[in-house]
Amino acid sequence: MVEKDILVHVHQLKKYFSVTRGIFQRTFGAVKAVDGISFDICRGETLGLVGESGCGKTTAGRTILGLYSPTAGEVLIDGADISKAKAKDLLEIRRKATMIFQDPFASLNPRWTVNSIVSEPLRVHKLFKNDKKRTERVFELLNLVGLNGRLYNRFPHEFSGGQRQRIGIARALASNPSFIVCDEPISALDVSIQAQVVNLLEELQDKFCLTYLFIAHDLSMVRHICDRVAVMYLGVIVELGDRNEVYENPLHPYSQALLSAVPIPDPKKDRERKRVILTGDVPSPINPPEGCRFHPRCPISKPSCSESIPELKEVSPDHWVACHDV
């Protein structure tokens, strides 16, 4: 059996945000944004992370990179524990692991030129000794993502949304990373531009052997670009497996509901398929339900579902599900 080359290891990761009230800022609870997730990402692989808005996807991505300090759990990137790393070691880890942000309008400093934005990682990590070398590298990066290098002295407001996202991708590539968290990088773009950006990400992955954590809402796009898919609900992972296995044979009721809402281009097949309509609202992450977090909205819930937390178990090779009925 060939041993897997694991680049990112996440074990029981938790991130809570304290909730305060009053002029004395007294703590009366915590938002359990991420509550004990575990998975591995192999080198050169793309893992998709999907779920409803507010389920903790973005928080998970930022905590994995150390932008948020984890409340508990372990994150290893290329063998280095990001939660225990000292300042010097953390800087080296962040050279290897970067992020492409969701909003191309808010993630770029409007007062900086493209040259300053893209070359900032080069300055921080001291990859080039002088400005001339850094500018040459910026030209190279801009051409790599499909932009004219001569635009390096322009400001972000002079570019379209798709061009701004390409600038963000160039910035993420500047330090020669091996792992990139793509936090819904196409959700703010026009449909025609989305395909171009996704194709660019795939080309860059093949060229530089990049590893992605791809966070998204568009389930069709996730199936296209990802090797494996993790389905997240209210801070926990409820299903994890190969993209085709999860899409063609979803076992968790929440996964079934999500995938039943994916548009099908064939009207006849769309009419024939069975839609799973969820009732009720998403519970508050401050006070999540006891037992299975999905049981208040689950169409097949039983009394036992509210009594014990289902374990994420392997039901078939590389297909993991957290459900009492599976």
pLDDT tens, residue by residue, 184-220 = 998 878 888 888 999 999 999 999 999 999 999 888 8
Q: Is residue 157 part of a domain?
A: no
Residue 215 inside a domain? The answer is: no
Please, what's the b/e burial string for 75-108 (b: 16 or more CB within 10 A of its CB; e: otherwise)?
bbbbeeebbebeeeeeeebbbbbbbbbbbbeebb
* 252 CB-contact burial (10 Å; exposed 0-12 / middle 13-18 / buried 19+): buried
Ramachandran bin of 224, using left for φ above 0, alpha for ψ from -120 to 50, beta for the remaining angles: alpha
- pLDDT at residue 1, rounded to an integer: 35
pLDDT beyond 90 at 59: yes
Is 28 a domain residue?
no
Residue 15 domain flag: no
Examine the pLDDT at 85 and tell me if it is beyond 90.
no
Q: Is residue 245 over pLDDT 90?
A: yes
Query: Tell me, what's the pLDDT at 263?
Result: 76
pLDDT value at position 56? 92
pTM of the model: 0.91
Q: Place 178 in a pLDDT band, splitting at 50, 70 and 90.
A: very high
pLDDT of amino acid 131 = 86
Confidence of residue 2 (pLDDT cuts 50, 70, 90): very low
Domain-located, residue 142: no
Q: Does residue 244 sit within a domain? A: yes
Number of domain units in the chain: 1
Position 175 in a domain: no
In the chain the first and final C-alpha atoms are separated, in Å, by: 28
- Look at residue 210 in the predicted model and tell me its pLDDT: 95
- pLDDT band at residue 294 under the 50/70/90 scheme: very high
Domain assignment present for residue 296? The answer is: yes
CA distances from 298 to 252, 303, 314 (A): 10, 12, 21
Return left, alpha or beta for 11; rule: phi > 0 is left, psi -120 to 50 is alpha, else beta. Answer: beta
pLDDT at res. 3 = 58
Q: What is the mean pLDDT of residues 211-238?
A: 92
Mean pLDDT for the chain overall: 90
Which parts of the chain are beta strand (E)? Answer: 6-21, 26-42, 46-50, 72-77, 80-81, 97-100, 179-183, 211-215, 228-233, 236-242, 313-316, 319-321
pLDDT at 133 over 60: yes
Domain that residue 262 falls in: 229-326
Q: How far is CA 134 from the centre of its chain?
A: 29
* Mean of pLDDT values over 166-170: 95
In this prediction, residues 258-269 reach a mean pLDDT of 79
